Chains A and B, each alone.
Chain A
Amino acid sequence: MPVVRLYYEDMERLIGASRDTIMSRMAMMGADIGKRAESDHVDVEFFPDRPDLYSPEGVARAMQGFLGLKTGLVKYPVQKGSVVLQVEESVKSVRPIIGCAVVRGLQFSSEAIESLMGLQEDLHWGLGRNRRKVAIGVHDISRVKPPFRYLGADPERKFVPLDFTEELSMREILKEHPKGKDYGHILDGCERYPLIVDANDDVLSFPPIINGDLTRVTDDTHDLFIDVTGTDPMVFKALNIVVTSLAERGGKIESVLVKRSEGDFMSPNLEPARWVVSADEANQLIGFDLTAEELADCLKMMRFGARAEGSMVEVMVPAYRADIMHSWDIFEDAAKGFGYDKLVAELPKTVTIGSAHPAELRREEVREITIGLGYLETMPFTLTNEKVHFEWMRRMPAPAGTTRVLHPISELHTILRTSLLSSLLEIFAINQHHPLPQRIFAAGDVVVDKKTRMHLAAASIHSSASFSEIRSIADAVMREMGLGDGMRIVPSQDGAFLPGRGADLLKDDRKVGLFGELHPLVLRSFGLEQPVVALEIEWGEL
């Protein structure tokens, strides 16, 4: 989740409340506050559905409402500007959507620049799917000359990218610039690359990769041009979040005329979305008992515009909110405005009779039997790998029903186990420094042909572990589990056992288990130095 660094002094100034007041209530608005607060700042995590809180300005705006200092909808005036951006046909197959704005009259402190950069990165993560869906560029507009053009450019087109001093072609940027290496894959297979240039054909931006060095933002920058490009209308939410955040810093928003063949529009559009919601529905969902007026008050604290009309509430959703998809999203905010800490917990009245799952009841029996025989329970991982599970067990090749994961994160975990025994041997292997005999078992799940089956495996390691020991255990387990009838014991061909010292359990000619003395070569693969006898029995499936 995005972490926003909040400097106390900055927050006190932006919100107009004391540090203690702010910090004591922030979590109840919806935030994870880091345990280690520094003397001058604190790092706070905000949820992925609230990108409007990814900047100190956005947090301040929300906190002012939540603390009741300034409630209701914030109106951000947008002055009609003179800047024009032309969208050319050549870019539409690559990265069709663009929104932009001009913000003037900013005084950038280093903190403000830090927060703007942080906001951009967090939006790339939270809304932009790592720039694929949404990418943001911020420019010093005084360095370039409108009108601007957004076009699909020849990859050989050269310019000086940010943080470089020499010209590179766009193709070279993807190979050599750190950002090119990180995000170049988004343009895989594209014949033309997106580019924003000014009236003199100087480059502002190569979205979604890198800006030109020309328009770099510095402490002396006062007027910004912001471009947001992408593949989804979420582009406009991101733009709104950035410009309203800058407006909270005192910037004056100016519109840009975006010209397209399918129709021109003025950007940004900060008009709120209008919803009409029912107080009854809110009361039923949350379980409180509010009038429409009270519901409207709760919503105003969350900085919605809200007005009661009979039992309904007309809600104006700010243009920077990206998370309102359904009336319940509005009701959740109402509950936050009301205060989760003020909601009285109440037990539901639903009367039902509970029952355990039959497989778990059976598992409990299996456990009781094995524990009664002196075995200690273990709960090994169900992920394993072919080397341990089949090769070391002398059970090559792996059976067809083995479940392999496509992109394992480690060579230790590449498949789901089809049996339990190798997991027990691994546990013996890490416990050789402890006294013998060791007797362990697992009553866990395996997956064969994508179906979950339940097995029991038990193993015993000590200097005089013998076939007759495990034969007695296997007998006892089968007897107690009621598996004896119709079960046949036949010599096993399983490579894990010493030839002539392993047995298969057959029920209606299907192999449902085995027991015996493990082959010394198996033991050697696991690094074990004492005899091991073991059994494994299938006892159920889902």
Chain B
Amino acid sequence: MLSESDARVLRAISDGLYDPKIIAEKLNMKVEAVRASADALAESGLVRVTKSVREVFSLTAEGQRYGKEGLPERRLLQEIASGKPMSELKDPNIKIGLGWLRKKGWAVIQAGVIKPIGTAAKGKDEEVLESLLEGAKSCESLDSSGLEALKSRGLVSSSKAKEWRYEITPEGRRVASEIGDAEAQSLTVIASGMIKSGDWDGSNLRYNGKLYHARPYDVTLAADRIYPGKKHPYQRLIDRMRGIMLEMGFSEIKGQVVQSSFWNFDALFQPQDHPAREMQDTFYLDSKAEIPDYSRVKEMHEHGGGIGSTGWGGSWSPEVARQEVLRTHTTGVTIKYLAEHPMPPVKVFGIDRVYRREAIDATHTPEFEQLEGVIMDEGVSFRHLLGFLKEFYLKMGFEEVRFRPGYFPYTEPSVEPEVFIDGLGWVELGGAGVFRKEVTAPFGIEQRVLAWGLGVSRVAMLKLGLKDLRLLYQSDIQWLRETPLSIES
């Protein structure tokens, strides 16, 4: 902790004063006290002190007198005016000037009369004399010929003098900034009254008869880190996808998490003994659901429903269809919507959680989001599906898209879109196809249905650079805080 006087001196040095005498004058302190403070501050590394010894010149007593009165020759010159007989000059001091008057060529004596000549411009010696009248000075600021002239006349004497020069260090500047002005009270918080009626000059304030100095801060210092409340980065990605679908004229649909096997599997023409329906892949519930009139679905599974399909053969059980499951995909929601809206055109999408009975690890979670969309209209074809997919991926920021044959149980033809990603190459992203007739016919849907789906978490891994899917659901709060709102999309 600095003493009051040390603090004031530090502040003065920080303000750019370097001479102890001037500081003493300004702070109304003794020069010795200023020097003692400065030495203490120098020991703490707040101030740098440079000491030097210089020759300084000052006027002798006679020089002082001449300084005030003027040199004898100057006074004599004034005395004689335009000319004066020698006999009239009585003052002995003036007489001293006579020799110098002649020497400087300012006057001549003719027949006992002194007469000025020329302009008698002010000499260098007179300038030095005037200058030294202000105080002792070193030779740098004085004309050397003038100085020599005065020295030869015994008007100037020289002596050795010590000089102190103070400079603030960066640490000193930091400390000084916390102390505030040497004379004014340092101010951190600006009170309301100071805003309303204070007398401000820069950061200086006169308020209620007191002086204040609004302390300057080191604006480059690091701040405490704070975070805004934010949407989950994954949710932002989902919203981006929702936005794309809405922009492209799709309506959003939602459905229940708990679904009957009928809507989740049977309506999609998945045979009842299909491996995907086994306990090891699907979360079954110990409950049965009401299902709609199933006669056409049953007929389709068993015999092909009169649309030229072979069907799966065997016998289809409504009891198996009533078994409830946690939806394994959002497609069950889609086909239910289409069954309720069989007339074209229909363009709908959904993004929701789906459930698979998978052990949890870095790339598998038992629940994850799926994006799904369908276009049902007169005259739409597989080629239109490719066109839609290309546009969607382009809007997602994937500029290169290609299509490979794929297989999905309820679409024919089926396609696996792949996007090109720098550093990874071609990456499979989602699946698509035209709903099989075996799927649409039992519900009276007569137009072709272009359908496609996408694992949203896979896109999140690519876009957010995730290595572990669990982070999306069991989030590290610091990751949520630090992930910037603005992500490349």
Residues on A facing B (Cβ under 8 Å): 27-30, 32, 47-50, 129, 133, 232-233, 284-288, 325-329, 331-332, 335-336, 340-341, 343-357, 359-360, 367, 370-383, 403-410, 412-413, 416, 426-427, 430-431, 434, 438-440, 445, 447, 450-452, 542
Sample of 23 A–B contacts (CB below 8 Å): A30-B405, A50-B407, A284-B379, A325-B311, A326-B437, A328-B436, A336-B405, A352-B249, A352-B251, A355-B252, A356-B242, A357-B254, A379-B232, A379-B234, A404-B286, A407-B283, A431-B477, A434-B476, A434-B477, A445-B353, A447-B257, A450-B256, A452-B257
Q: What chain A residues lie within 8 Å of B477 (beta carbons)?
A: 376, 427, 431, 434, 438, 440
Q: A332-B413, A354-B347, A407-B279 are in contact. List 18 more A-B contacts (CB 8 A).
A: A27-B404, A28-B404, A285-B382, A326-B309, A328-B437, A345-B390, A347-B384, A348-B388, A352-B250, A354-B252, A367-B235, A374-B228, A375-B229, A377-B230, A379-B234, A381-B473, A406-B284, A430-B476
Question: Do the beta carbons of A343 and B403 come within 8 Å of each other?
Answer: yes
Residue of A nearest to B247 (CB): A354
Shortest CB–CB separation between residue A1 and chain B, in angstroms? 9
Q: Which one of B235, B257, B357, B448 lies within 8 Å of A409 (CB-CB)?
A: B357
Question: Do the beta carbons of A377 and B250 come within 8 Å of each other?
Answer: no
Question: Do the beta carbons of B231 and A371 come within 8 Å of each other?
Answer: yes
The answer, yes or no, to whether B275 is at the interface (CB within 8 Å) is yes
Question: Do the beta carbons of A49 and B384 come within 8 Å of each other?
Answer: no
Q: What chain A residues lie within 8 Å of B254 (beta carbons)?
A: 357, 359-360, 542
The answer, yes or no, to whether B45 is at the interface (CB within 8 Å) is no
Rounded to whole angstroms, the CA-CA distance of A440 and B479 in the bound complex is 13
Question: Do the beta carbons of B389 and A345 come within 8 Å of each other?
Answer: yes
Question: Do the beta carbons of A427 and B475 come within 8 Å of each other?
Answer: yes
The answer, yes or no, to whether B463 is at the interface (CB within 8 Å) is no
Q: Which one of A348, A349, A376 lies within 8 Å of B230 (CB-CB)?
A: A376
Q: What chain B residues lie within 8 Å of A426 (beta carbons)?
A: 474
Known: A380-B474, A383-B355. A450 touches B324 (CB 8 A): yes
Known: A343-B386, A406-B285. A379 touches B403 (CB 8 A): no
Q: Which one of A49, A340, A383, A430 lies within 8 Å of B404 (CB-CB)?
A: A340
Q: Which of B70-78, B97-105, B122-130, B358-366 lies on the face that meets chain A?
A: B358-366
Known: A379-B473, A381-B367. A374 touches B229 (CB 8 A): yes
Question: Do the beta carbons of B474 and A346 come within 8 Å of each other?
Answer: no
Among B307, B359, B405, B436, the one with the most A-chain Cβ atoms within 10 Å of its Cβ is B405
Q: What chain B residues lie within 8 Å of A328 (beta carbons)?
A: 412-413, 434, 436-437
The answer, yes or no, to whether B314 is at the interface (CB within 8 Å) is yes
Shortest CB–CB separation between residue A398 and chain B, in angstroms? 14
Question: Do the beta carbons of B403 and A340 come within 8 Å of each other?
Answer: yes
Question: Do the beta carbons of A326 and B251 come within 8 Å of each other?
Answer: no
The answer, yes or no, to whether B245 is at the interface (CB within 8 Å) is yes
Residue of A nearest to B255 (CB): A542
Q: What chain A residues lie within 8 Å of B229 (beta carbons)?
A: 370-377, 439
Q: Per-position contact with A for B117-161: 1 when CB-CB < 8 Å, else 0?
A: 000000000000000000000000000000000000000000000
Question: Do the beta carbons of B232 and A377 come within 8 Å of each other?
Answer: yes
Known: A410-B360, A427-B474. A288 touches B307 (CB 8 A): no
Q: Which one of B383, B391, B404, B480 lies within 8 Å of A287 (CB-CB)?
A: B383
The answer, yes or no, to whether B450 is at the interface (CB within 8 Å) is yes
Q: What chain B residues lie within 8 Å of A452 (beta carbons)?
A: 256-258
Known: A285-B434, A377-B480. A354 touches B404 (CB 8 A): no
What are the nearest 3 A-B pairs in CB distance? A287-B381, A287-B383, A47-B407
Rounded to whole angstroms, the CA-CA distance of A130 and B66 in the bound complex is 127
Q: What chain B residues lie within 8 Å of A360 (beta carbons)?
A: 242, 252, 254
Rounded to whole angstroms, the CA-CA distance of A9 and B20 in the bound complex is 96
Known: A345-B390, A356-B252. A403 touches B285 (CB 8 A): yes
Residues on B facing A (Cβ under 8 Å): 227-232, 234-235, 242, 245-258, 273, 275, 279-280, 283-287, 304, 307-311, 313-314, 324, 326, 345-347, 353, 355, 357-360, 365-367, 375, 377, 379-391, 402-407, 412-415, 428, 434, 436-438, 448, 450, 472-478, 480-481
Question: Do the beta carbons of A332 and B353 come within 8 Å of each other?
Answer: no
Rounded to whole angstroms, the CA-CA distance of A404 and B284 in the bound complex is 9
Residue of B nearest to A431 (CB): B477
Question: Do the beta carbons of B366 and A450 come within 8 Å of each other?
Answer: no
Residue of A nearest to B234 (CB): A379
Known: A367-B231, A439-B229. A326 touches B273 (CB 8 A): no
Number of contacts between A and B (CB, 8 Å)?
A: 253
Q: What chain A residues lie within 8 Å of B284 (beta carbons)?
A: 405-407
Q: Which one of A50, A232, A350 lies within 8 Å of B375 (CB-CB)?
A: A350
Question: Do the beta carbons of A450 and B258 come within 8 Å of each other?
Answer: yes
Among A354, A359, A375, the one with the most B-chain Cβ atoms within 10 Å of its Cβ is A354
Question: Do the beta carbons of B386 and A350 come within 8 Å of each other?
Answer: no
Rounded to whole angstroms, the CA-CA distance of A359 and B352 in the bound complex is 12
Question: Do the beta carbons of B345 and A352 come within 8 Å of each other?
Answer: yes
Q: What chain A residues lie within 8 Å of B257 (beta carbons)?
A: 382, 416, 445, 447, 452
Rounded to whole angstroms, the CA-CA distance of A408 and B326 in the bound complex is 12
Rounded to whole angstroms, the CA-CA distance of A542 and B259 in the bound complex is 13
Among A48, A326, A349, A426, the one with the most B-chain Cβ atoms within 10 Å of its Cβ is A326
Q: What chain B residues lie within 8 Å of A445 (beta carbons)?
A: 257, 353
Residue of A nearest to B407 (CB): A47
Known: A287-B382, A373-B229. A353 touches B412 (CB 8 A): no
Q: What chain A residues lie within 8 Å of B389 (beta carbons)?
A: 345
Question: Do the beta carbons of B304 and A325 come within 8 Å of each other?
Answer: yes
Shortest CB–CB separation between residue B337 and chain A, in angstroms? 11
Among A32, A50, A288, A352, the one with the most B-chain Cβ atoms within 10 Å of its Cβ is A352
Question: Do the beta carbons of B473 and A380 come within 8 Å of each other?
Answer: yes
Question: Do the beta carbons of A346 and B473 come within 8 Å of each other?
Answer: no
Question: Do the beta carbons of B405 and A340 come within 8 Å of each other?
Answer: yes
Question: Do the beta carbons of A345 and B231 come within 8 Å of each other?
Answer: no
Question: Do the beta carbons of A133 and B384 come within 8 Å of each other?
Answer: no
Residue of A nearest to B276 (CB): A48
Question: Do the beta carbons of B283 and A405 come within 8 Å of each other?
Answer: yes
Q: What chain B residues lie within 8 Å of A380 (beta carbons)?
A: 473-474
Rounded to whole angstroms, the CA-CA distance of A528 and B184 in the bound complex is 50
Residue of B nearest to A286 (CB): B382
Q: What chain B residues lie within 8 Å of A352 (beta carbons)?
A: 249-251, 345-347
Shortest CB–CB separation between residue B326 and chain A, in angstroms? 7
Question: Do the beta carbons of A30 and B242 come within 8 Å of each other?
Answer: no
Q: What chain B residues lie within 8 Å of A427 (beta carbons)?
A: 474-475, 477
Rounded to whole angstroms, the CA-CA distance of A346 and B380 in the bound complex is 10
Question: Do the beta carbons of A345 and B387 come within 8 Å of each other?
Answer: yes
Rounded to whole angstroms, the CA-CA distance of A344 and B375 in the bound complex is 18
Shortest CB–CB separation between residue B236 and chain A, in angstroms? 9
Q: What chain B residues lie within 8 Å of A341 (beta carbons)?
A: 402-403
Rounded to whole angstroms, the CA-CA distance of A488 and B234 in the bound complex is 35
Question: Do the beta carbons of A348 and B436 come within 8 Å of each other?
Answer: no
Q: What chain B residues lie within 8 Å of A340 (beta carbons)?
A: 403-405, 415
Shortest CB–CB separation between residue A86 and chain B, in angstroms? 26
Residue of B nearest to A449 (CB): B258
Q: What chain B residues lie within 8 Å of A371 (beta carbons)?
A: 228-231
Residue of A nearest to B368 (CB): A381
Q: What chain B residues lie within 8 Å of A343 (beta carbons)?
A: 382-383, 386, 403
Rounded to whole angstroms, the CA-CA distance of A439 and B481 in the bound complex is 11
Shortest CB–CB separation between residue A532 and chain B, in angstroms? 14
Question: Do the beta carbons of A284 and B381 come within 8 Å of each other?
Answer: yes
Q: What chain A residues lie within 8 Å of B379 (beta carbons)?
A: 284, 349
Q: Which one of A286, A355, A378 lies within 8 Å of B480 (CB-CB)?
A: A378
Question: Do the beta carbons of A407 and B357 come within 8 Å of each other?
Answer: yes
Question: Do the beta carbons of A434 and B384 come within 8 Å of each other?
Answer: no
Rounded to whole angstroms, the CA-CA distance of A439 and B232 in the bound complex is 13
Known: A232-B314, A356-B246, A406-B286. A378 touches B413 (CB 8 A): no
Rounded to whole angstroms, the CA-CA distance of A372 and B231 in the bound complex is 10
Rounded to whole angstroms, the CA-CA distance of A343 and B390 in the bound complex is 13
Question: Do the beta carbons of B383 and A354 come within 8 Å of each other?
Answer: no
Question: Do the beta carbons of B387 and A348 come within 8 Å of each other?
Answer: yes
Rounded to whole angstroms, the CA-CA distance of A287 and B345 in the bound complex is 18
Known: A376-B481, A450-B324. A357 touches B407 (CB 8 A): no
